Chain A
Amino acid sequence: MKKYSDLEFLALSKGKKFLYKLASFFASIPRGVANLFLAIGRFFKKLGIGIGKEFAEIVTTFTRGDWKTKLSYPVMGFGSIARGQVLRGLLFLLFEAVFFVYMFVPIGSKTGAQWLSLLPTLGKVGPHMEYNAVLDTHYPVYGDNSFKILLYGVLTLFFIVAFIYTWRLNVKQNKISEDILRSGKKLKSSGDDLRSLVDEQFYKTLLALPLLGIVVFTVMPIVFMILVAFTNYDGAHNGYSNSLFTWVGMENFKTMFSWDVGGVNYAATFGEVLSWTLIWAFFATFTNYFLGIFVAMMINKKGNHLKKMWRTILILTIAIPQFISLLYVSRMFSINGLVNGALQSLHLTTAPIDFWGTPKLARIMVIIINIWIGIPYLMLIATGILMNIPADLYESSRIDGANPWQQFTKITLPYMLFITGPYLLTSFTGNMNNFNVIYLLTGGGPTNPAASGTAGTVGYTDLLITWLFKITTGSETKYYLASVVGILVFVVVAIISLIVYSLLPSVKNEEDFQ
C-alpha cells in the first residue's frame, strides 16, 4: 500500500481519502495485534515487578517499623489510632472486624469461607423426593443451592480482594505516618480528614455512593453472567429445587459455534440473527439521522411559524411510554387492523396486507416505524446544533452563489457529522440492543423455519438481544446459552466501537470544550 504524506493526503478526493483511511486501518491491524500482545507482555512484566516491590515494601516496613507499625499487621488501624488518627484507625479496625465476622460466623446459613469452599463444585447434595406413607404425600428434601453458592462465592471473592487491598493500605499508611513523623511534621487530625472530604478530596465524597451502586448492581451481575456461560444452568437445572448445576468448561461456547447440535445449527442461527442485527442497526441509525436533520431544518427554516407547535407534536412519541404507543401501532398494522381496513375501504388494496407475517415486509416495517419513534430525538439534537452553526457562514456562502443544496452538503452536513460522530456510534450500538421496538412491534416474528429449535423459535426480525430474551423465557430457559449470547453481543459491540473510534476524524479532546 502506498503511504501518503500529510500534504498528498489532503490533496486527495473525498472518496479516496476515505478509502485510504479504511485501507490504512486494515493495514494497521497486524501491527495493532502485535502491539496488543506486547502490551499484554509488558503488563504482566510490570505486574510481576509491582507485586515483587509491594512484598519487599511490606517486609521492610515491618522490619524497620516501630512496635505500633508491627502491631498494625495483625490488628489493622492500630498504628493510626496509636498515633492519634483515631477516625482512620477505627475505620480500618471496623473493616477488619466485619471481614472476619463475615468469613467465619454464619450469617443466614453459611459463613463466607463455606460459600467459597463450595464454589469449585457449585454444591454437592442435590434435592431428592421422599414419600410419607401416613400423609400419602411425596415431598422434596432440598440440598445445596448452586445459584446462591455462585452468587455468594463471587461476593466473597470480591470481598477478599477488597480486604487484601485495604490491608495493604493499612501497612502503607503506617509507613507514611512514620516517614512524616520522622521528618518532624505533624500528622493530619481526624478533623482535617473530614474537612478535606468536602474540599480537595471532594470527588471521593461525590463518587462513593454512585460507584458503590455500580459495583454491586452492575459489575457483580456482569461477572456472575459471564460465569453462568461456563455452567449448565437452565430450567431443568435451576440449582435448587430440581437439580444442581455445575461447571461445564467451554462446552456452551462449543455448542454455539458448532454446525450441528442435535440437528440444530446454532452457529448459522447466530450468524443470521447477527447479520440482521447489524442491518437493522445501520438503517435504524442512519434513516433517523438524516431524516431527523431534514425535519429539524424544515421546522427551523426562517419564516416558518408555529415552530413550537410542530416540535410539540413530534415530541409526543418521546413523552408517551413506548409500551403503549408501540403496542398500539403494532395492532394498527395487523392483518385485520386499522391500516388494512383503511386501505381496503379506500380501494387501494383488495386483499389485506400481512405486514407482520411476511419476512421482508416485517423487516421494512420495523425500520419505518422506528423512524416514527426516532426522528423526534434527532430533531431536537439537530435543532440545537443547527442553531450553533455561525450564521455568517451561510451568509458568505450565499454571496458566493451557493444554492441551498450546496450549503447543506458543504456546511451543514460536515458540521453535523463532526459534532455528532460519537453520538452516531452510541446510537448504532444502542440500536443493536433496541429491545423495545422489536419486542413490542413483532415479538421477533415471523418465525424463521430454518432456525427453529434453537432454544425457543427465532424470527426474522429478532435481534440478538430479543433472541437472548427468548432463550431465558422460552420453552427451555437455557440461561447458560443466553449468557453466551450476551458475551458475544459484548464482543461485537466492542469490535464495532474499536473500528469506529479508529476511523473517526479525530478522537475529540474533551478539554477543547472548556
Chain B
Amino acid sequence: MNERVEKRSMGLKASRALSNTIIYILLIIMSVIWLIPFVCIVLQSFRVESTWQVGYVIPQQWGFDNYIKLWETNFPKWYLNTFIIALVVAVVQTIIVLCMSYTLSRFRFKMRAGLMRFMLILGMFPGMLAMIILYRVLDDLGMTGNNSLPGLILVYVASSGMGYYVSKGFFDTIPKSLDEAARVDGATRAQVLNKIILPLAKPIVIYTILTAFMGPWGDFVFARYVSQLKPLGMNVAVGLQSWLATDTMTFNNYTLFCAGGVIVALPVAILFMCLQRYYVEGVTGGAVKG
C-alpha cells in the first residue's frame, strides 16, 4: 500500500517535472518573441554608422550620437508637451472617472439606468468622426497649432466619464454595508467617499491614474489634426511619426526614431512595472464585472 502511494507520487512528481520543463521552454520561447522587437529598437538606437533602416540588428559602431542629436531637434519640446498633457490628464481624468463610477455604483436615482444605457449606446459610435468637429471647435477656441496643449487636454478629459466601467466594477465589489454603517454614524455621503471608500479603492485609483497617464503618449491621430503640423504643437507620437513620413524627399531619420522611441517608452514602462501590482488588481477587480 505504502509503496503504491510512493510510486504514484513518484510518477506524479516525474510528470509534474516534465510538464514544468515543457512550460519553461514554452515561456522562454514566448519571452524571446515578446522581447525581440524591443531589444532591436534599443540596439538600433545605438547605431552610429548610418541613419537608415538596415537589414542587420547589431550595430557595427556603437554610440550615443542619436540621443545627442535628439536634443538638437524639436524632440525635447514634444516630450515636454506630452508629459504635461499626460500629467494633467492623469489627475483630472481620474477625478472624473471616480466621480462617475462611484455615483453609478452607489446611488440609486431615477435616471441611473437610462443614463448607463445611453452611454452604452454612445460608445457604439466610432469616435473617429468626432475628431473633425472637435478639431473645428478647438480651432474656434484658438487651441490648435502651436497652442494645442490645452485643446488636447480638454478633449481627452471631457469624454473620460464614458470610461467608468472598470472602476464601477471595482466599486461594486466593496460591500455596501460599510457605507450604511457610516451613514448610521452620521457621516454625509461626501465623508463616506473620502474617509471610507477611497482608502479601500487604492488599486483602482492607481489603475485609473496609470491608464490615464499612458493614453496621451500614444495618440497619433487626433493630436496630428490638432497640431496642424506645427512643430511646437506636436506630441511625441506625431513628432516621431513625422520623421518616418513615407516621403522620398525627406532625409531618413530611422535611428533617430528608434532613439526617440526608447526615451518615450522608458519612463512609461518603468512606471508601469513599478505599479504593475495595482494594474493587475484594477483590471481583474474591475474589468470583468463592468
Report which A residues bind B (CB closer than 8 A). Answer: 147-148, 151, 198-200, 202-203, 205-207, 209-211, 213-214, 216-222, 224-225, 228, 295, 298-299, 301, 303-304, 310-325, 327-329, 331-332, 336-338, 341, 372, 377, 380-381, 383-385, 387, 419-420, 422-423, 426, 429, 433, 435-436, 464-465, 468-469, 472, 479, 482-483, 486, 489-490, 493-494, 497, 510, 513-514
Cβ of B288 and Cβ of A216 under 8 Å apart? no
Docked Cα-Cα span, A225 to B264, in Å, equals 34
Cβ of A323 and Cβ of B220 under 8 Å apart? yes
B273 neighbours in A (Cβ, 8 Å): 312, 315, 319
Q: Which of A210, A472, A513 contacts B289 (CB 8 A)?
A: A513
Given A225-B132, A372-B33, 19 new contacts (CB under 8 A): A151-B133, A199-B190, A200-B189, A210-B96, A214-B119, A218-B122, A222-B125, A222-B130, A225-B129, A310-B31, A314-B34, A320-B268, A320-B269, A336-B55, A377-B283, A385-B284, A426-B165, A436-B218, A513-B172
Give how many B residues have a beta carbon under 8 Å from the other chain's beta carbons. 90
The answer, yes or no, to whether B102 is at the interface (CB within 8 Å) is yes
Q: Which of B24, B37, B217, B272 contacts A328 (CB 8 A)?
A: B37
B173 neighbours in A (Cβ, 8 Å): 513-514
Cβ of A147 and Cβ of B136 under 8 Å apart? yes
Q: How far is the CB of B13 from chain A (nearest CB, A)?
A: 10
B132 neighbours in A (Cβ, 8 Å): 225, 472, 479
Query: A213-B96, A328-B41 are known contacts. Are A472 and B27 too (CB-CB below 8 A)?
Result: no
Interface residues of B in 236-287 (CB under 8 A from A): 237, 240-241, 244, 258, 261, 264-265, 268-269, 272-273, 276, 279-281, 283-285, 287
Cβ of B126 and Cβ of A490 under 8 Å apart? yes
A337 neighbours in B (Cβ, 8 Å): 55
Cβ of A483 and Cβ of B129 under 8 Å apart? yes
Binding site secondary structure of chain B: helix
- Among B121, B124, B281, B283, the most chain A Cβ lie within 10 Å of the Cβ of B124
A313 neighbours in B (Cβ, 8 Å): 31, 34-35
Cβ of A323 and Cβ of B133 under 8 Å apart? no
Query: A328-B37, A329-B37, A332-B40 are known contacts. Are A224 and B265 too (CB-CB below 8 A)?
Result: no
Q: Which of B102, B109, B162 contacts A218 (CB 8 A)?
A: B162
Interface residues of B in 191-230 (CB under 8 A from A): 193, 214, 217-218, 220-221
Q: Which of A210, A316, A419 contacts B38 (CB 8 A)?
A: A316
Q: Which of B106, B128, B161 contacts A435 (CB 8 A)?
A: B128
Surface stretch bound by A, among B2-10, B68-76, B152-160: B152-160
Query: A213-B161, A316-B38 are known contacts. Are A423 and B276 too (CB-CB below 8 A)?
Result: no
Docked Cα-Cα span, A337 to B240, in Å, equals 20
Q: How far is the CB of A142 from chain B (nearest CB, A)?
A: 16
